[in-house]
Amino acid sequence: MDVATTAGLTDLKFRLVREDFADAVAWVARILPSRPLNPVLAGVLLTGSDDGLTISGYDYEVSAEVRVAAEISSPGSVLVSGKLLSDITRALPAKPVELSVEGTRVALSCGSARFSLPTMAVEDYPALPALPDETGIVPAGVFAEAIGQVAVAAGRDDTLPMLTGVRVEISGEKVVLAATDRFRLAVRELTWNSAVPDLEAAVLVPAKTLAESAKSGADGTEVHLSLGAGQAV
């Protein structure tokens, strides 16, 4: 179905490193629903500004946002299919990527490769939730290892959503991760650098989302966590 529209489009145009673009798009696209109730939720939002290029995705439950360095010739926003863009960027040669909005389509070029993608209704895309203040920092490798050890015990039955998550309990400098599917239980304790003295909190985060996020950030040095009302970032 072609959901392209001229309303809400801008003349976004930018150039950036292929590897940065492909990695960012792939990371955001992995949280997109395969069968969205609203077609626009299958899209990734590309926003160019003085701060660089921001790539966003949202399905009303989980949001993902990545900012990468890019030469922004013309600022603006455009919404395109996340799966299509991810498939294309993954196969591009190791050359700079150029993207521009041309009417109701997006023109993408990289070396000798040329693509034309339909746009989606950016004005129908929901606003991403505001990020809560930072709560603390934990080494990326430690966090990824701990989540990997615990998430495997989480349930996979969506009719029992409380068992498909990882409980994250924070008490000062201590973080306890726990998951169970009623037949097995996994618990891991670690320490972190809390930004909020004497913090006491507990949240339940979808195990799949937490595992994918931890794995994708494992190559970094630190993971910055934020807790808000009904949110964990």
Q: How far apart are CA 146 and CA 142, in angstroms?
A: 6
Is 3.40.50.2020 the CATH number for 13-124? Answer: no
Is 3.40.50.300 the CATH number for 134-232? Answer: no
**pTM, to two decimals:** 0.79
Per CATH, 13-124 and 134-232 having the same topology is answered yes
The ranges assigned to domains in the chain are 13-124, 134-232
pLDDT 10s digits, 16-66:
999 999 999 998 998 898 889 899 999 999 999 999 999 999 988 888 999
Region 195-214: mean pLDDT is 88
Q: How far apart are CA 233 and CA 220, in angstroms?
A: 16
Q: How far apart are CA 88 and CA 141, in angstroms?
A: 30
Please give the pLDDT value at position 232. 54
Element of type H or E holding 27 = helix 18-29
pLDDT 10s digits, 60-101:
888 899 999 999 999 999 999 999 999 999 999 999 999 999
Q: How far apart are CA 94 and CA 16, in angstroms?
A: 11
